[in-house]
């Protein structure tokens, strides 16, 4: 029996200074689709998510709330974990940066990079929101381009990493797609930053400024490891890097198919700093970095600091898990910013889910019951290029075309395009019903023809259900169950 291909996919670690918002849900939903898709293709998948407990902003929020930092991060990290149930996420592991396995791994990586680490006094502009230093020229009217806040002037003695040493190597790695950055515009952005000249970066802060929170620099308790050096190592720490486990060997060292899914605001950390740390430590690089945009709310970036966040738990409670997933994956561009409004959500829900998919399933099942046609078996290989179809050429051609375009779109992380292909097939089926008019049962000849039409449509629904699995897993299963029974099923998406 052939050994299964391994596929590793991760989300970025979320800061836990506040509860999750819809922007966090977007990244999780995208990663979940990719994980489910690869499992369906037969790959062995390791899907990793988690939280960043060690940021300085956590310390400040805890102080403002008058609670212990640990209590704050425990409370909010738990909320991020609860997205698993709210969004029906299928991650295999969830790591926190306060866990022992992570602390040991971060310190081990530091020691592995020691030849590139030195100490010096430094003064610079630091954004606590981004957890990074900025140059004056990188600011917009003196403000952080990401958070629109004024960075703090920090002056202290810290440890630095020799990033400049890796400029040529990193440029070649990105140019030749040894690490493939998607979309192309983000690859160009990364190369532009490298071509401006890389400078060494600060990778620690004083324990005093960190207020005692964070991971100690090995051998120097007066310093805490910079939160990004610490956080980025989670990808290997969750696999057992600290103890060089079999999991680490199989999923990171020997596995070439490693994907990071991140937001555009943290591209530099993943496409430049992280590969540099790995090169320094003589560890394998990731294969792909997929970069998504932001969800805006009324045209502004959705942000805890701006106070315009949408609560994903409330959205799910009101409309359901799959409706929330559908909006995120269809309405929001995979790589560009997308805007959320209540009106857009409800319009998309009614048009595509209630009137589109839901109406088609209800019509076909009702006709199946009326014509007393036996339930059908769903073909589990519906996404596979080897799927064998029935003989009716017209619908067979449409299904084959849909599957081909669907696979192509998902391989390119074009979630909305994959969904559009499914909805084209739904529209085709609606048109097919109107053209064939299977409710006309005046004579035996019509009955035989109508039976074939409904069988065609039932099979098309089974294919649609299979293609929906990565996107709308609950709905997919409901359709499959309705296809197996002789009774009319529940309404999938009641109109709102």
Q: How far is CA 466 from CA 341, 378, 385, in A?
A: 30, 8, 13
Q: Determine the pLDDT at residue 130.
A: 66
Residues 256 and 192: their CA atoms lie apart, in Å, by: 26
Of 278, 258, 253, give the one whose Cα is nearest residue 163. 278
Please pick, among 6, 28, 38, 147, the residue that the annotation labels catalytic. Answer: 147
Residues 187 and 191: their CA atoms lie apart, in Å, by: 6
- The CATH superfamily assigned to 342-484 is Isoleucyl-tRNA Synthetase; Domain 1 (1.10.730.10)
Please pick, among 113, 127, 202, 378, the residue that the annotation labels catalytic. Answer: 127
Q: Determine the pLDDT at residue 317.
A: 97
Close Cβ partners of 177 (under 8 Å, ≥ 6 residues apart)? none
Residues 275 and 75: their CA atoms lie apart, in Å, by: 32
- Catalytic, 24? Answer yes
Residues 230 and 225: their CA atoms lie apart, in Å, by: 6
Please pick, among 21, 38, 187, 260, the residue that the annotation labels catalytic. Answer: 21
Q: How far is CA 96 from CA 77, 251, 436, in A?
A: 8, 19, 57
Q: Which residues pair with 120 in a beta bridge?
A: 158
- Catalytic, 378? Answer no
**Structure tokens, 446:** 């019509």
Q: Which residues pair with 9 in a beta bridge?
A: 47, 259
- Domain coordinates of the chain in residue numbers? 342-484
**Strands 338-340 and 295-297, sheet pairing:** parallel
Please pick, among 130, 202, 378, 429, the residue that the annotation labels catalytic. Answer: 130
Residues 276 and 274: their CA atoms lie apart, in Å, by: 5
- Catalytic, 301? Answer yes
Please pick, among 301, 414, 469, 478, the residue that the annotation labels catalytic. Answer: 301
- Catalytic, 147? Answer yes
Q: Determine the pLDDT at residue 469.
A: 97
- Catalytic, 21? Answer yes
Q: Determine the pLDDT at residue 138.
A: 74
**Mean pLDDT, consecutive 10-residue segments, the chain of 496 residues?**
87 94 96 98 97 93 95 98 98 98 98 97 73 72 72 83 98 98 98 96 92 96 96 98 97 98 96 98 98 86 70 97 98 95 95 97 90 62 41 79 97 98 97 86 64 89 96 97 83 94
Please pick, among 6, 24, 38, 414, the residue that the annotation labels catalytic. Answer: 24
Please pick, among 102, 108, 113, 144, the residue that the annotation labels catalytic. Answer: 144
Q: Determine the pLDDT at residue 381.
A: 38
Please pick, among 108, 258, 304, 478, the residue that the annotation labels catalytic. Answer: 304
- Catalytic, 144? Answer yes
């Amino acid at each position: 029996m052939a050994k299964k291909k391994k596929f590793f996919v991760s989300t970025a670690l979320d800061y836990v200074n506040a509860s999750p918002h819809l922007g966090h849900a977007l990244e999780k939903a995208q990663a979940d689709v990719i994980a489910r898709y690869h499992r369906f293709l037969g790959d062995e998948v390791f899907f990793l998510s988690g939280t960043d407990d060690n940021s300085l902003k956590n310390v400040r929020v805890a102080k403002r709330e008058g609670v212990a930092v640990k209590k704050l991060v425990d409370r909010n990290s738990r909320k991020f974990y609860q997205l698993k149930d709210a969004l029906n996420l299928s991650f295999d592991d969830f790591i926190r940066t306060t866990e022992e396995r992570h602390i040991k791994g971060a310190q081990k990586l530091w020691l592995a990079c020691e030849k590139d680490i030195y100490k010096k006094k430094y003064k610079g502009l630091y954004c606590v929101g981004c957890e990074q230093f900025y140059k004056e020229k990188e600011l917009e009217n003196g403000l952080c381009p990401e958070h629109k806040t004024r960075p703090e002037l920090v002056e202290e003695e810290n440890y630095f990493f020799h990033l400049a040493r890796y400029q040529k190597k990193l440029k070649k790695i990105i140019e030749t797609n040894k690490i493939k950055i998607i979309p192309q515009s983000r690859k160009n952005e990364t190369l532009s930053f490298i071509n401006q000249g890389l400078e060494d970066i600060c990778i620690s802060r004083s324990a005093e400024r960190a207020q005692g929170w964070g991971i100690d620099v090995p051998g120097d308790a007066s310093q805490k490891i910079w939160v990004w050096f610490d956080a980025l190592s989670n990808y290997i720490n969750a696999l057992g890097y600290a103890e060089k486990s079999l999991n680490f060997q199989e999923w990171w060292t020997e596995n070439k198919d490693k994907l990071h899914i991140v937001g555009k605001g943290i591209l530099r950390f993943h496409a430049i700093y992280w590969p540099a740390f790995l090169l320094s430590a003589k560890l394998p690089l990731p294969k792909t970095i997929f970069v998504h945009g932001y969800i805006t709310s009324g045209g502004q970036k959705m942000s805890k600091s701006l106070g315009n966040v949408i609560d994903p738990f409330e959205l799910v409670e009101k409309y359901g898990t799959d409706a929330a997933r559908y909006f995120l994956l269809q309405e929001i561009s995979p790589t560009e910013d997308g805007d959320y409004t209540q009106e857009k959500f409800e319009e998309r829900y009614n048009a595509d889910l209630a009137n589109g998919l839901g109406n088609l399933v209800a019509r076909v099942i009702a006709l199946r019951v009326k014509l007393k046609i036996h339930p059908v078996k769903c073909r589990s290989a519906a996404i596979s290029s080897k799927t064998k179809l029935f003989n009716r050429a017209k619908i067979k051609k449409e299904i084959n075309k849909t599957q081909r375009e669907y696979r192509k779109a998902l391989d390119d992380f074009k979630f909305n395009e994959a969904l559009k292909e499914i909805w084209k097939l739904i529209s085709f089926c609606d048109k097919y019903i109107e053209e064939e008019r299977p409710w006309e049962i005046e004579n035996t000849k019509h009955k035989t023809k109508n039976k074939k039409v409904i069988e065609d449509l039932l099979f098309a629904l089974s294919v649609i259900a299979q293609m929906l699995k990565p996107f709308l897993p609950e709905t997919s299963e409901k359709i499959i169950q309705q296809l197996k029974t002789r009774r009319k099923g529940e309404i999938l998406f009641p109109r709102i």
